[in-house]
Every structure is written in structure tokens, then in C-alpha cells.
Amino acid sequence: MTRRTIAAVACAMVAGLIALDLAAVRPNPYDAPALLALGSGAAPVGGFCGAPASVPGS
Amino acid sequence: MADTTLASAAQPLARRGVGLPFALLVLAAVAATTTLAGARFGLMLVLGLGFGLVLEGLRFGFAGPWRAMILRRDPGGVLAQLLSIALVALAAIPLLGSGADELVGSQGRIGWAMIGGAFVFGTAMQVVLGCGSGTLVNAGSGNAVALVALPLFCIGSLLGTLHLDWWTGLGALPPIVLSGGTGLAVTLALLAGTAAIVLARAAPGTRRIPGRYVLAAVLLAALAIANLVVAGQPWGVVYGLGLWAAKGASAVGVDLSASAFWAAPINAERLGASILTDYTSLTNIGMILGAAWISLRRPGALDQPVARLPARAWVAAALSGLVLGYSSRLAFGCNVGAFYSGIATGSLHGWVWFAAAFAGSVLGLRLRPWFGMEPRQ
């Protein structure tokens, strides 16, 4: 087995993840935010690795 | 990590034709994301591709340079990381302090679990020779150890979210952020001081940053600043991996609504939304595809056989993946979200994370031979 197989499996896993997710829920392009967050006037709503909202004091 | 010249490292970037069908597929993915989800999300996938292309194309990362510093006292990669963080800080801290409510930095709470999590993450990172971004990039470039670790990384990250409140309850400070002009000056001074310590510890004749590392540092900084401007939040990795596992768990009937983490409005919304609208998911996906793309264009890179390792090495890779995911949640991020983005956006937890994870890396490098990852010294 070569690294090509491993890379192909990794890419297939990504494709499978996206396909399964799209089968469960579809994004709404008409709900899309502005291209850039900076200057949009909208508060950030993305999830992040840092202190989550659920943790008191954060 | 092989030490090549800038010219030879950049050569694959200029090579044409080899991965054309794959390139078209990647471009189609960007177009589809833009059409299905919106232009911002298509752009985030492009930024993720950029991260993958830079990290794999220029052989840059986090675990490798730390290993080089610890084992050979070769400071080039660590200095490049500090340079890249400084470049991001120069833009990010003023932007965050400008009163722009659209942007948020990487914040973490310094505490026992955070410090322990960072230490354990540093250990596991050296066992598999890949941090958060490294595991993604290595999997995309055909590294079997990373491919084994990656799914467990996702599951570990999910498990970490379920226990995060308990661990943080052991004791943690509120987020401490170095902000404004003073915060930027202190951050740059700390980075310069760290670079001075690294240089003082370096082996004679190694006190320089290789050209390809300088290029990687600058390009990564540009991408990280763009990440902040486009997404409104810094570059991160771990959140997306935990989200993937959480979505998988929900799909098979696991109820996550009792979890304080997943019940929080932002996380509950992410759980119910498409991953094509999640910033860290998009940059994670981009990193895997970008690394695969550059590997396709590097002659012979994907024709190498998969490393032959003993069974205990594969078990260690899987367990390390699980530990990487779990510990990075407790530590409020990995090398990217906590160390790189944390320090660059003025969060003090980034510095504590760095110290704890570096200490853990020393242990991890001692463990690698015991797990059969490399010949015993």
C-alpha cells in the first residue's frame, strides 16, 4: 500500500462527511452573511476552540 | 522533516499538469460551497486550501519544529512560528481593539485542566508527530498514522466537550487578554524574549530561519489575518473536529442536548447547521484537500510505501488521536487555536498553553521509541 491510497482515503472521508451532512441538512444561500465579517456590523456567531459560552465567566 | 532549500521546496508549487483533475475537483468544491452556502463560506474553504498548501508545500508545521528544537536544538522552525505569530498580532490586536464588534479573538481560561490538557496534548502530539493542523495535513498527504489518529481525534474532541465543565470547575481564571497598544507591545516583547531564549539554547551554527520557513511564516500570517477578517474569528482546528463527531453521534441517535457545551446557543446552532457554514470545518477540509493537492504535484511523494510499524505503534496512534482530541478541548485549543491564534490575539492562555505543551513534547519524544514509532535511542 502506498501513500496515494492513504491520501485517497482521507479525501474520500472528507467527501463522505460532506455528503452525509448535506443529506441531513442543507445550507440556505439566501441566509448567507456578508463576504467579510469585518465591517459587516454583525456579531460573530461561529463556533471556536476557545472558551465556550457555556463556561461561566467566559 | 527534511531540510530543503527554498527553491526545491517551492518547485512543486510551480509544477503544472500532474494534479489537474484533482485541482478541477477542488475548484468545483469551492464553487459548490459558494453556491450552496454563500460567498463567505466558499472563501473560507479557499483559505483552508491555502493553509494546507503552505503547510505541506513548504514542509512547515508545529510538531516538527518543536521536535527539532528539543532533539537537535535547531531553532529555525520555532523562530518562524514566533515570527508568524508576531505578524498576525500586529494586525489582529489593533483590529480587535478598534471596537469592531464583528471580530472576536481566541480566548481561553487559564486553569488546572487547561494546563494539564496542554501538557498531555504536547505529549500525544509528539507521539504521532502531528498537532491539530498537522494531523489534517499529514492525512491529506498520505500519512497512515495521521489517518488512523484523525477519526479518534474527532471522537476525543467530542468527549472533551462533554466533560469540559467538570474539568474547568477544578479551577480556572476568567480569560485574560492583552489588548490595545500596550497589549500589542507586551505580546511583541514576549515573543522577542521567547525568541531570545530559543536562540540562546540553539546549537552553534543553527541560529537562523531557513528561507522556506520565512516564506511559510509570512504566508501563514497572511492567511490567518484573512481568516479573522472573513470569519470574524481566528484560525482554529479543534472545534470543527469535535463538531463532526457530534454530528455523527446525533445522527445515530445520541442526545447531546443535556450537554452544557452543546446546549449553548452557538454550539446548538452549529450542530443543527451544515458543516459548509462552519468556519473551522471549512478550513479543516481545505487543509486536507490542499495537502493532498500539493502531494499530487510532488513527483513520487504519493508512491512511497506506507510505513511498516509494529501493532503497538498503530494502537498508540489511535490512542494518541483520542488523547489529542480530548486534551485540546480541555486546553481551549491546539497549536493553532490556543498557541498560534491565542497569542496572536492577545490571550494569555496561549502563552501558558505554549509552556505546558512544550514540556509535554519533551515527554512525548521520549515515549515515541517505546511505542515503536522509531528506533529506540
Whether residue B106 contacts residue B175, with contact meaning beta carbons closer than 8 Å, is answered with: no
- Is B293 inside any structural domain? no
pLDDT of res. B5: 46
Distances from the Cα of B68 to the Cα of B28, B79, B167, B196, B220, angstroms: 38, 12, 32, 17, 20
> Helices (H), strands (E): how many in chain A?
1, 0
Q: Is B292 on the interface with A (CB under 8 A)?
A: yes
- Is B168 inside any structural domain? yes
Residues of B in contact with A51 (CB under 8 A): 107-109, 175, 332
Whether residue B4 contacts residue B212, with contact meaning beta carbons closer than 8 Å, is answered with: yes
Whether residue B106 contacts residue B348, with contact meaning beta carbons closer than 8 Å, is answered with: no
- Is B4 inside any structural domain? no
The string of pLDDT tens digits covering residues A30-54 is 999 999 999 999 988 888 888 654 4
Scanning B26-85 for CB atoms below 8 A from A yields 35-41, 43
- Is B246 inside any structural domain? yes
Distances from the Cα of B216 to the Cα of B51, B76, B209, B230, B358, angstroms: 10, 12, 11, 21, 21
Q: Is B162 on the interface with A (CB under 8 A)?
A: no
Residues of B in contact with A12 (CB under 8 A): none
Rounded to a whole number, what is the distance in Å from the CA of B166 to chain A's nearest CA?
A: 10
- Is B172 inside any structural domain? yes
Among B40, B101, B275, select the one facing A18 at the smallest CB separation. B275
- Is B54 inside any structural domain? no
Domain count, chain A: 1
Q: How many CB pairs under 8 A join A and B?
A: 226
Among B144, B174, B236, select the one facing A57 at the smallest CB separation. B174
pLDDT of res. B16: 52
| A7/B244 CB distance under 8 A | no
Domain count, chain B: 1
- Is B33 inside any structural domain? no
Rounded to a whole number, what is the distance in Å from the CA of B250 to chain A's nearest CA?
A: 11
| B231/A5 CB distance under 8 A | no
pLDDT along chain B (377 residues), means of 10: 45 56 93 98 98 97 97 98 98 90 92 97 96 96 97 98 94 94 98 98 96 98 98 97 97 94 94 97 98 94 92 96 97 96 97 98 96 72
Whether residue B342 contacts residue B106, with contact meaning beta carbons closer than 8 Å, is answered with: yes
What is the Cα–Cα distance from B353 to B118, expressed in whole angstroms? Answer: 5
| A3/B306 CB distance under 8 A | yes
- Is B237 inside any structural domain? yes
| A14/B289 CB distance under 8 A | yes
State the cell numbers at B239. 472545534
pLDDT of res. B75: 98
Scanning B80-119 for CB atoms below 8 A from A yields 95, 100-109
- Is A50 inside any structural domain? no
> A28, A49, A54, A55: best mutation site toward chain B, by most B Cβ within 10 Å?
A49
| B95/A38 CB distance under 8 A | yes
Range of the domain at B123: 61-269+315-371
- Is A13 inside any structural domain? yes
Scanning A13-42 for CB atoms below 8 A from B yields 13-14, 17-18, 20-22, 24-27, 29, 31-42
pLDDT of res. B307: 87
Residues of B in contact with A29 (CB under 8 A): 35-38
pLDDT of res. A50: 80
Range of the domain at A13: 1-26
What is the Cα–Cα distance from B79 to B346, expressed in whole angstroms? Answer: 19
Three-state SS letters, B183-215: HHHHHHHHHHHHHHHHHHHCCCCCCCCCHHHHH
| A50/B333 CB distance under 8 A | yes
Distances from the Cα of B275 to the Cα of B36, B45, B150, B284, angstroms: 12, 11, 17, 11
CA–chain centroid gap for B194, Å, is 20
First to last CA, chain A: 48
pLDDT of res. A51: 62
State the cell numbers at B282. 471549512
Distances from the Cα of B18 to the Cα of B15, B86, B87, B176, B299, angstroms: 8, 36, 34, 48, 8
Length of chain A in residues, anyone?
A: 58
- Name the β-bridge partners of B305: A2
Which DSSP category does B276 fall into? G
Q: Which value does ipTM take for this structure?
A: 0.92
Residue that has been written with the C-alpha cell 479551577 in this structure = B171
> B40, B150, B250, B296: best mutation site toward chain A, by most A Cβ within 10 Å?
B40
